[in-house]
Amino acid sequence: MSRIVRGRVPGRAVIWIFVAASLGIGPESETWPDQAQAAAVAPAQDPAGTDPFGQPPTDDRPTSRPRQSRPVRKRGKATSPKKSAPKDEAKPSTSTSTDGLKFSVDVAPILVANCSGCHSKEGIGLRRGKLDLSSFDSLQKGTPAHKVIVPGKPEESHLILRINGEEDPKMPQGANRALSAEAIATITRWVKEGARIDAGIDPKKPMESYAATPEQLRRMNLARMSPKDRDEKTIAAGHERWKQSGAKQKAEVTPGTHFLLLSNLPADRASSVVKGLETQYNQLRRMLGAQAMDWPEKVSLYVFNENNTFVEFIRTVEGRDFDQADPKWSVRFDVPQPYIAAADPAGGGKEQPATKRRGRGRKSSDEAEAVPDRTLLGVLTEAMGNGSVAAAGNAPRWLREGIGAYLASSIEPRSPYYRHLRQGAFQAVQQGWQTRGAQALGDQLPADELRAAGFGLVECLTHDEYFRQGFRSFLVEMLGRGGAGLDDVLKDIYNGNREQFLQATETWIANAYGQVR
């Protein structure tokens, strides 16, 4: 049996036909729900709970270990354990010691960054010198003429002699490619300790597949520092960046659990902003998961009282021009000492709640317009949401923009900013959502239109009864698969396809935003 669902969209009538168990979009009788009857359809199950914001993510919850059965011992004559075959001394040994250097962390990153490019595949070092450094196994074998490493004897190892310049040609070649004294000392010590690979790593595996990345190394170094030292390093970097903005006053620091605010705000207001953003951090952590929000260091918040100092910060620190159509915030979570920079909507003064402001009584329209449309906490929350989603995976831009604005809307729900975003999404429906919505999903709209469409999509996903149940699973999958994986994610989470998704979101936006003025 088929059922016809009529949805009202301004300018035309839309008729959808759902045929049970015949659309081929899900197992057996599951079909994509229409908006009017979404509550009557069994929703997709979200492993994190029914409310995407109400429960902590699965990876935060303790899990019980499965019981393991003990092996049954047979009675009888005891036998001595079999002697293991003598080890082949030619094979590289592995180290299980936690005291010495680890090849994957201390040595492999140096070789991958400075040596493997020439000494692998079609590199000149492999062609001329016949030395392959693409794996630990090939490193141990050396060249057809001789080994380059003698475990325990750095003074006899050609690799050490070459990087020290004690044997020609010096490696790496090139006037500006010499290894640092620290890197040379690390490799020398590793050879002296036995030149071992980490236990559990296949020596024939490509070295670059397990060598620690610069970001992993940075996190490890930060983990070795005390919280006080980490904060002092972040504050020192913050003051240097602050100077580049040309701000006249030195920034005062207001610390939080996950943030360090640098500003010239009144002390009580600065404290209130940090406290409010900590609350939003916890909200976002429930949405994205603990791992995505496990920051190795505190995030700096640079808040400028004047727009021109904020713009100068963008030009000098980030090396780019500021477009007046851009939001007055910037977020960089992909750099050491990550930060959010923003211009204070209240200009450093007393802040009033953002609301639908119109001139009343004897107040002129100029006085009404002078009141900021947004709050500082709302601006910082939008930036944090946008940046955190971007840093957590491969989410498309519409999803990053939508989540940032959606999270901020809970801070300042009556701000005209969100009315403007809803009007923009509704206008896209009027223009033809099958086209404009498809462009949004492909990140092909101008920045302001994409933000409006993304906000509308995320509001639909978090408010609609059917979509809301699977939203967190949808988000996690999109972080992993990116925009190119949208079709697979829709099929896996909602048993639907892109066309049905556009139809359902079109109806929701038309109905929810049609009365927005």
Give the tens place of pLDDT for each residue, 180-209. Answer: 999 999 999 999 999 999 999 999 999 999
Asked if 491 and 506 count as a contact pair (C-beta separation under 8 A), the reply is no
Which residue, 312, 347, 376, sits at the end of a domain?
A: 376
Which pLDDT score is estimated for 89? 39
Which residue, 314, 344, 376, sits at the end of a domain?
A: 376
Burial of 225 per CB tally in 10 Å (0-12, 13-18, 19+): middle
Residues 193 and 261 in one domain: no
Burial of 195 per CB tally in 10 Å (0-12, 13-18, 19+): buried
Give the tens place of pLDDT for each residue, 258-308. Answer: 999 999 999 999 999 999 999 999 999 999 999 889 899 999 999 999 999
Whether 274 is covered by a domain: the verdict is yes
pLDDT above 90 (res 358):
no
Q: What is the dihedral of CA 112, 114, 116, 117, to 10 degrees?
A: 120
Confidence of residue 219 (pLDDT cuts 50, 70, 90): confident
Residues 230 and 328 in one domain: yes
Whether 292 is covered by a domain: the verdict is yes
Whether 211 is covered by a domain: the verdict is no
Whether 82 is covered by a domain: the verdict is no
Whether 432 is covered by a domain: the verdict is yes
Whether 198 is covered by a domain: the verdict is yes
Residues 438 and 498 in one domain: yes
Whether 319 is covered by a domain: the verdict is yes
Residues 168 and 234 in one domain: no
Whether 327 is covered by a domain: the verdict is yes
Residues 229 and 197 in one domain: no
Residues 398 and 366 in one domain: no
Asked if 378 and 412 count as a contact pair (C-beta separation under 8 A), the reply is yes
> Measured between alpha carbons, how far is 517 from 137 in angstroms, rounded to an integer?
69
Residues 334 and 442 in one domain: no
Q: How do 12-19 and 2-9 pair as beta strands?
A: antiparallel
Alpha helix positions (H), 307-415:
307-317, 365-369, 376-392, 397-409
Give the tens place of pLDDT for each residue, 66-84. Answer: 334 344 344 444 444 444 4
Asked if 485 and 477 count as a contact pair (C-beta separation under 8 A), the reply is yes
Task: Please give the structure tokens belonging to residue 274.
Answer: 């940090």
Task: Please give the structure tokens belonging to residue 325.
Answer: 């159509």
pLDDT above 70 (res 477):
yes
Which pLDDT score is estimated for 292? 87
> Measured between alpha carbons, how far is 453 from 451 in angstroms, rounded to an integer?
6
Query: Which has more pLDDT, 55 or 325?
Result: 325
Confidence of residue 236 (pLDDT cuts 50, 70, 90): very high
Residues 372 and 242 in one domain: yes
**Domain total of the chain:** 3
Residues 364 and 246 in one domain: yes
Which residue, 311, 343, 376, sits at the end of a domain?
A: 376
Structural domain that includes position 255: 225-376
Cβ partners under 8 Å of residue 410, min gap 6: 283
pLDDT above 50 (res 25):
no
Residues 366 and 300 in one domain: yes
HSE value, Cβ hemisphere, 13 Å, CA-based, for 96? 1
Task: Please give the structure tokens belonging to residue 433.
Answer: 């959502």
Q: What's the chain's average pLDDT?
A: 81
Which pLDDT score is estimated for 423? 96
Residues 352 and 241 in one domain: yes
Q: Against a cut of 0.75, is the pTM above it?
A: no
We report the CATH number of the domain holding residue 337 as 3.40.30
Residues 158 and 121 in one domain: yes
Q: What is the dihedral of CA 88, 94, 99, 105, to 10 degrees?
A: 140
Q: Flag the least confident range among 114-128, 196-210, 212-226.
A: 114-128
